[in-house]
Structure formats: C-alpha cells, structure tokens
A and B are shown apart, each in its own frame.
Chain A
Amino acid sequence: GAGVSQTPSNKVTEKGKYVELRCDPISGHTALYWYRQSLGQGPEFLIYFQGTGAADDSGLPNDRFFAVRPEGSVSTLKIQRTERGDSAVYLCASSLDGQGSDTQYFGPGTRLTVL
C-alpha cells in the first residue's frame, strides 16, 4: 500500500516568510509525528498527534511553529516568520495507534531552505 507522503519535497523561501508543510500518513494510522533533521544529525522530535489532538508538542522550538491535524489524517506543519536556522529536512512519520511497539514509518521529508 501507499506509504507516508509529504509535500512539497523541496521548499525554498525567504527569511520572514510563512510556510506550510503537508504530511499524508498511511491510511488508518492514528498516530502521527513530526521530526526535524539537520545535516549530519539524527531526527529531532517536534510534535506527536494521537488522532486530532496534539498529545505532545514539547519539541516545537518556539511559538513560530504550529501543527494541526483537523480530521485525524493529514497534518500540516506551519512555520511563521521563517529564520535561516529553520533550514532542515522536516520528516513526518505515522504509526498504527501509538501503542505497544508499533513501527513509526517515515515519509521522504520536505527539505526547507530559508534564504
């Protein structure tokens, strides 16, 4: 079946602009995660959704970052007033229900470049 998909694959923006990154999880997966990966580093947790609600947003770096999942499926990560330090690959992952040890499946990521 279809895996996790993310759009756009690449996004180039100017400092101070607003961007939205989209994640389509695997159908039927109730748990959805956003991570950020800088060059040469491991993915860093941003936010975790169980259904429509954010169960853990402790990884969001500041209030410029916000994410929604209004219908419990697609999620959008929103970044306001982008800064050059926001440049990274933003990864989305989903898992069946976030219980037990079910696997987190990753999408291909969106490479964000802030000029």
Chain B
Amino acid sequence: GENVEQHPSTLSVQEGDSAVIKCTYSDSASNYFPWYKQELGKRPQLIIDIRSNVGEKKDQRIAVTLNKTAKHFSLHITETQPEDSAVYFCAAANYGGATNKLIFGTGTLLAVQP
C-alpha cells in the first residue's frame, strides 16, 4: 500500500542553524506534497507544499525540494528560531485521482535550542 517514510524522528539544532527533514514516498502516482507543522495539542498547519511539476519551492526561511525519480522530498528551514520548535509532518497525495487523501509520515520533532 501507499507509504511515506520520514527521517529523522527527532532533530535538535542551535538557534540560527539550518534543519533538514527528509521523506520518501512509495506511490509513484503521488503529485502533491504538503508539509504541516503541529505544535503540542494544536491542529496541523500547512507551512509549504509542492506539486510534482516543480523541483523546488521557497517561502522566506522555508524551502522544499522534490526528486520525482527517487520519490524523495525534503524540507529545509534556515536561520532556525525557537518558535520553529514543533513536530513536522510530510505527506503525499494523488490529487485528481480517485481520492485526495493525504498519506502522512511519522513526524519529526524539531527542537531549536536558544
């Protein structure tokens, strides 16, 4: 079945450093890849997404890269700040197919040390 693997499960960085989270998906029909940030006890919130016809997308300190051949995508956060501390989830979906369900990774707990 469809699967999304996410690494690392925990990541600790110093404030100002960069953080990278990597995901691999199994369904080659996937064409939509969002990243969600979830603070403790809160709802998941979209921070950035990318479609399969694009290799990279950037929004201020956040960027996502996609390698369709390798079925691999990554989240890059530069100049990390303490408020970036949260759990980050990657997801994949086949939008426009039979279903638009998101298949989520298992999450990465990011801790930014001041």
- Check: A40 CB closer than 8 A to any chain B CB: yes
Give the interface residue-count category, chain B: 20 to 34
- A contacts with B, residue count (CB < 8 A): 28
Interface status of B61 (Cβ within 8 A of chain A): no
The reply on B96 being an interface residue by CB < 8 A is yes
Q: Which secondary structure dominates where chain A touches chain B?
A: loop
Bound-state CA distance A99–B32 (Å) is: 11
- For A108, list chain B residues within 8 Å (CB): 42-43
Q: Is B18 an interface residue (CB 8 A)?
A: no
Q: A33 to B91: give the CA distance in the assembly, Å.
A: 14
Give 1 or 0 for each of A58-99: 1 = CB within 8 Å of chain B CB. Answer: 110000000000000000000000000000000100010011
- Give the interface centre of B44, B106, B107 by most chain A CB atoms within 10 Å: B44
Q: How far is the CA of A59 from the CA of B105 in the complex (A)?
A: 16
A94 to chain B, nearest CB (A): 11
Q: Which of B43, B91, B95 has the most CB of A within 10 A?
A: B43
Contacting residues of chain B (18-76) with chain A, CB-CB under 8 angstroms: 32, 34, 36, 42-46, 49, 51
B100 & A103 in contact (Cβ 8 Å cutoff): no
Contacts of B104 in A (CB 8 A): 42-44
Interface residues of B (CB under 8 A from A): 4, 6, 32, 34, 36, 42-46, 49, 51, 89, 91, 95-96, 98-107
Interface, chain A (partner B; CB < 8 A): 4, 31, 33, 35, 40-45, 48, 55-56, 58-59, 91, 95, 98-101, 103-109
A-B contact pairs, 18 of them (CB 8 A): A33-B102, A35-B102, A40-B106, A42-B4, A42-B89, A42-B104, A48-B99, A48-B101, A95-B100, A98-B95, A101-B51, A101-B95, A104-B34, A106-B36, A106-B43, A106-B45, A107-B43, A108-B43
